[in-house]
Amino acid sequence: MNNSVIDLIIRIKNGYMARKETIESPYSKFREEILKKLIKLGYVGKVDIENGKAKKFVIELIYKDGIPTVTDFKIFSKPGRRFYVSYKELKLVLGGLGCSILSTPKGILTNQEARRQKIGGELLFQLW
């Protein structure tokens, strides 16, 4: 895939749909920052980095009472079309049940953090 963010999100979604305990994803620093944010928000469990021929992540998926913590994603920025927003355009996702992930000059932020800091950026995806 051309876009590492889309690849990571689709791997996580497919892992939850297949009821897997862990999934693997190639390593990159950008993916690492996104995974740190997803861990902080409680959407994925711990992430281990394995060194072999190529570095990769082993991501633990979380289920609460047999229900996945992530039910769906909506991807906004794609390789052919980047989606930029100002902090004023950021809305709640499903009335606050989900969140948006943005790439900003201050790093990877959620929609609430970006509104608090009054900073816009590239809207990568929403999850709930």
pLDDT tens per residue across span 38-61: 999 999 999 999 998 999 999 999
Output the average pLDDT for the chain.
94
How far is the CA of 41 from the CAs of 1, 59, 127, in angstroms? Answer: 26, 15, 11
**Same-domain status, 79 and 111:** yes
pLDDT tens per residue across span 68-113: 999 999 999 999 999 999 999 999 898 889 999 999 999 999 999 9
In this prediction the pTM is 0.91
Domain boundary among 37, 68, 99: 68
Q: How many domains, in total, are found in the chain?
A: 2
What CATH number is associated with residue 40?
3.30.1370.30
Residue span of the structural domain in which 15 resides: 4-68
The per-residue pLDDT for 2 is 53
What CATH number is associated with residue 105?
3.30.1490.10
**Spatial strand order in the sheet of 22-26:** 22-26, 56-61, 44-50
Residue type, 115: R
**Same-domain status, 50 and 85:** no
Tokens of residue 72, six digits: 């769906």
The per-residue pLDDT for 1 is 39
The per-residue pLDDT for 88 is 95
Of 97, 40, 107, nearest to 70 by C-alpha is 97
